[in-house]
Amino acid sequence: MSGEKPRAALVLKDGTVLHGQGFGANCERIGELVFNTSMTGYQEALTDPSYGGQILMLTYPLIGNYGTNPADKESDNVQPSGFVIREMSPDFEHRQANSSLDSFLKDHGVPGICGIDTRFVVRHIRDRGVMPAILATSATERDLEPKKLLEKLEFDYSSIDFVSKVSVKEPQVFGKGGKKRVALIDYGVKMGIVRELVKRGCVVHVLPSSSTAADVKALEPDGILLSNGPGDPAILTHAHKTIRELGGGAPIFGICLGHQLLAHAFGGDTYKLKFGHRGVNHAVLDTRSKKVVITTQNHGFAVGKMPGGFELTHENVNDKSVEGMADSGRGIFSVQYHPEAAPGPHDSLYLFDEFMKKM
């Protein structure tokens, strides 16, 4: 960073205030403050649409040392409203890198703050739960007055449909010439999911989240994938209806938000976790094989009541929350975590192979 360094303030809904150094864009942004425990993969996290409407904080202390590059993006935009880290590396070194973290956020109009005690903030959220926050960067101190910032902090994460903001507006096709046709309903898909399907010989039709069951069936797909995405699954009633009408047809694979939407579509429900599961080292038990896999996760909600006809297939080792379920009779299965693992361990890539077998 060159020239005058902007100041920054992070103000939480409960009145907690932290001042630090700003980077990225000079602006104010509001979102739900969450934390991720990954040691690498900050670009994948920043471009993950599941972070829509949230301010992302990383627990690993030094971020930015390998810059950013075109290969590691999961979407075309920076998705969180703001970025919070302990220390930002002013220099970067990587054979694929073409931009610094600071420039990357500037280009996408997203503010960042560093030089604060992120360990304190993580402990605070762990104890109090996730909450709305406002992140402001400015060269002028009067723009960072905590009382004025707090007055602007009117935000209810669960009342906003973030999916419609991040989903494609028109259908897109990847992997032309593939032998299996997959209809992927885009609730905020990570491109790693599309890449894994294309790698296995699929032509993937990425459809807007507003698509109806008739739109999906018109493609005559061999399989249907319900993607990850941001927000509270309970308010997405249009998606519940579409998924319910698709049940019993082509095999369905749900990932993250898609898993939660399946629960709502078939009579189950979801609840909000105190501070969510976000990181690349979450242990999950496969209840059928009794084997444990290490998974990549990014979610703030979990399935509560299981839908009728579904069995528990995966369970979180730490808090026993539902991590996977299946209705074999209708060819439906889903997981709460991210098997495409971008970034993260590759223990769960076999789930894409299972989807191929079902098709």
Question: For residue 5, what pLDDT band results from cuts at 50, 70 and 90?
Answer: confident
Q: How far is CA 206 from CA 172, 203, 254, in A?
A: 5, 10, 14
CATH of domain 163-358: 3.40.50.880
What is the per-residue pLDDT for 150? Answer: 96
**Residue 1 buriedness (CB in 10 A; 0-12 / 13-18 / 19+):** middle
Residue 4 clears pLDDT 70, i.e. is over it: no
Question: For residue 343, what pLDDT band results from cuts at 50, 70 and 90?
Answer: confident
∠ CA(65), CA(73), CA(193), 5° rounding? 130
Q: Which of 62-66, 213-217, 252-256, 338-342 has the lowest mean pLDDT?
A: 338-342
The first and second tokens of residue 337, run together, are 């975590």
Average pLDDT score over residue span 242-261: 98
Average pLDDT score over residue span 125-146: 94
Residue 260 clears pLDDT 80, i.e. is over it: yes
Average pLDDT score over residue span 77-95: 96
Three-state SS at 94: coil
As annotated, the active-site residues are: 256, 338, 340
Average pLDDT score over residue span 88-111: 96
CATH of domain 7-155: 3.50.30.20
Q: Which helix (H) or strand (E) holds 264?
A: helix 257-265
Residue 291 clears pLDDT 50, i.e. is over it: yes
Residue 107 clears pLDDT 60, i.e. is over it: yes
24 phi, psi to nearest 5 deg = 70, -145
- pTM confidence score: 0.96
Residue 29 clears pLDDT 60, i.e. is over it: yes
Residue 143 clears pLDDT 90, i.e. is over it: no
Average pLDDT score over residue span 98-112: 97
The whole-chain average pLDDT of the chain stands at 96
221 against 139, higher pLDDT: 221
Average pLDDT score over residue span 68-90: 96
* CB atoms closer than 10 angstroms to residue 218: 11
Q: Which of 69, 40, 34 is nearest to 344 (CA)?
A: 40
CA distance 117 to 300: 23
* CB atoms closer than 10 angstroms to residue 66: 18
Locate the domains of the chain by residue range. Answer: 7-155, 163-358
CA distance 228 to 254: 8
Question: For residue 139, what pLDDT band results from cuts at 50, 70 and 90?
Answer: confident
What is the per-residue pLDDT for 1? Answer: 41
Q: Which of 256, 253, 259, 254 is nearest to 276 (CA)?
A: 256
